């Protein structure tokens, strides 16, 4: 099929690097003689008929900007038949032949729905959480981790001056990767992530022993999903550490700070390559794919497969989830999930090993 016009949108939580993806989509499409309409405010823009033509000049300079200049939304109405009908009407009215949807898990659900309703769609990752199992990397992850690491460096200064323990909560939803990677990079004494049960006693013992040996500052990083999303387990942990070790402790919740800022080189690069590949896939008549990075290579992965492997990894498989796959494919999926879990466990042990 020869596409004449495609739409591009960003949806869900914003992520540094989304603008670089939009830029790559726009310029690759224009190079191939395809017009691009920017959908404003994610799927909400499709429902409200809020679209605008994007030229090469419209994306000048955006590569260096955090957030998303196309704006974003978490749009529940899009999940309803009425919302979908309005979105399809907008596509018909503007003759949008296909869509590139940039975001996370929720965005790709919307992308699949659109594909099923006759609008071919390709997904490009854009979420700080790195919580899409099918890909090693999601755009925004590196910038978020660098932001956290910079802040922990600041907290170390004051922790050292006062001989304190700083417990810091970071975003990640149900995925502990931001916390885990930054714990290693910032020399934390402990990390708590939803994937692995946290041993409070061991953490307290380690801090008490290290304090007795002369260590003055203690960084503990807690992923927001530990103990239940939004439960702020880190706040409770800071109190426990202070009570049981005598080391004065402070809790900081970094919240949305971690989602902003200039994208790093890593994110600009991944975003540019992924955005460009999304358009190339459409040109090859492909759809319902998400552009993934696996072992440093870009690989298109079927969105339904990405949902299935995600549920497998999170032990949330439902009846019928694997019906579409052969025994061999299922074995490969299990293997992939096992390797991912083992890697997370290895990194978790490394935090403890290096906490001296
Ligand atoms: O998915 C990205 C993310 O920033 C998560 O890390 C976080 O839990 C969530 O979005 C916060 O969502 P909101 O901005 O809607 O509060």
Looking at residue 13, its pLDDT comes to 98
Pocket lining: 128 vs ligand 1, CB cutoff 6 Å: yes
Count CA atoms within 13 Å of residue 282 on its CB side.
30
Pocket lining: 45 vs ligand 1, CB cutoff 6 Å: no
Listed in sequence order, the residues at least 6 apart from 211 whose beta carbon sits closer than 8 Å to its beta carbon are 163, 218, 245, 246, 247
Pocket lining: 104 vs ligand 1, CB cutoff 6 Å: yes
Using CA atoms, how far apart are residues 76 and 86, in angstroms rounded to an integer?
13
pLDDT in tens, 231-253: 999 999 999 999 999 999 999 99
Q: Which of 173, 175, 232, 253 to mutate to test the pocket of ligand 1 (most atoms within 8 A of CB)?
A: 173
> How close is the Cα of 258 to the center of ligand 1, in Å?
10
Looking at residue 128, its pLDDT comes to 98
Q: Which of 193, 259, 261 to mutate to test the pocket of ligand 1 (most atoms within 8 A of CB)?
A: 259
Listed in sequence order, the residues at least 6 apart from 126 whose beta carbon sits closer than 8 Å to its beta carbon are 10, 12, 14, 15, 17, 18, 21, 68, 102, 103, 104, 107, 138, 139, 140, 271
Looking at residue 234, its pLDDT comes to 98
Q: Which residues of the chain have pLDDT under 70?
A: 1
> Among the options 14, 97, 129, 142, which is catalytic?
129
Burial class (CB in 10 A: 0-12, 13-18, 19+), 208: middle
pTM, entire model: 0.97
Using CA atoms, how far apart are residues 160 and 36, in angstroms rounded to an integer?
53
Looking at residue 280, its pLDDT comes to 98
> How close is the Cα of 256 to the center of ligand 1, in Å?
8
| Backbone CA torsion sign across 16, 21, 24, 26 | negative
Pocket lining: 15 vs ligand 1, CB cutoff 6 Å: no
Which residue minimizes the CA distance to atom 12 of ligand 1? 13
> How close is the Cα of 255 to the center of ligand 1, in Å?
9
Q: Is 76 an active-site residue? A: no
The answer to whether 50 and 41 have CB atoms below 8 angstroms apart is yes
The answer to whether 38 and 8 have CB atoms below 8 angstroms apart is yes
Using CA atoms, how far apart are residues 308 and 316, in angstroms rounded to an integer?
9
The answer to whether 170 and 179 have CB atoms below 8 angstroms apart is yes
| Ligand 1 nearest atom to the CA of residue 178, by list position | 6
> How close is the Cα of 169 to the center of ligand 1, in Å?
13
Looking at residue 1, its pLDDT comes to 62
Using CA atoms, how far apart are residues 45 and 20, in angstroms rounded to an integer?
20
Q: Mapping DSSP to helix (H, G, I), strand (E, B) and coil, where does residue 119 land?
A: coil
> How close is the Cα of 354 to the center of ligand 1, in Å?
30
Pocket lining: 275 vs ligand 1, CB cutoff 6 Å: no
Strands of the chain (E only): list them.
5-10, 35-39, 51-53, 98-103, 121-125, 165-170, 190-192, 218-223, 249-253, 289-294, 297-302
Looking at residue 2, its pLDDT comes to 75
């Amino acid at each position: 099929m020869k596409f004449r016009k495609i739409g591009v949108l960003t949806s869900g939580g914003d992520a540094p690097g989304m603008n670089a993806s939009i830029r790559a989509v726009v310029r690759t499409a224009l190079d191939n003689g395809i017009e691009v309409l920017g959908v404003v405010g994610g799927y909400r823009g499709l429902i409200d008929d809020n679209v605008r033509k994007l030229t090469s000049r419209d994306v000048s300079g955006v590569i260096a900007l955090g957030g998303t200049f196309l704006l974003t939304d978490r749009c529940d109405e899009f999940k309803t038949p009425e919302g979908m009908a309005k979105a399809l009407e907008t596509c018909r009215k503007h003759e949008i032949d296909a869509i590139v949807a940039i975001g996370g898990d929720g965005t790709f659900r919307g992308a699949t729905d659109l594909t099923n309703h006759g609008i071919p769609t390709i997904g490009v990752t854009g979420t700080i959480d790195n919580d899409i199992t099918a890909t090693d990397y999601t755009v925004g992850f590196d910038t978020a981790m660098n932001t956290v690491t910079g802040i922990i460096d600041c907290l170390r200064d004051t922790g050292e001056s006062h001989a304190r323990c700083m417990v810091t909560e970071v975003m990640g939803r149900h995925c502990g990767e931001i916390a885990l990677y930054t714990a290693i990079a910032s020399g934390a004494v402990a990390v708590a992530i939803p994937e692995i049960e946290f041993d409070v006693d061991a953490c307290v013992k380690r801090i008490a022993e290290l304090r007795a040996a002369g260590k003055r500052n203690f960084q503990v990083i807690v992923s927001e999903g530990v103990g239940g999303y939004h439960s702020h387990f880190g706040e409770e942990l800071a109190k426990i550490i202070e009570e049981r070790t005598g080391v004065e402790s402070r809790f900081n919740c970094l919240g949305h700070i971690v989602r902003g800022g200039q994208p790093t080189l890593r994110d600009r690069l991944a975003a540019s390559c992924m955005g460009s590949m999304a358009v190339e896939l459409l040109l090859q008549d492909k759809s319902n794919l998400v552009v993934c990075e696996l072992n440093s290579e870009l690989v298109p992965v079927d969105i339904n497969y990405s949902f299935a492997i995600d549920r497998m990894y999170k032990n949330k498989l439902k009846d019928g989830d694997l019906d579409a796959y052969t025994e061999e494919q299922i074995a490969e999926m299990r293997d992939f999930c096992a390797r991912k879990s083992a890697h997370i466990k290895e990194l978790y042990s490394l935090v403890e090993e290096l906490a001296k």
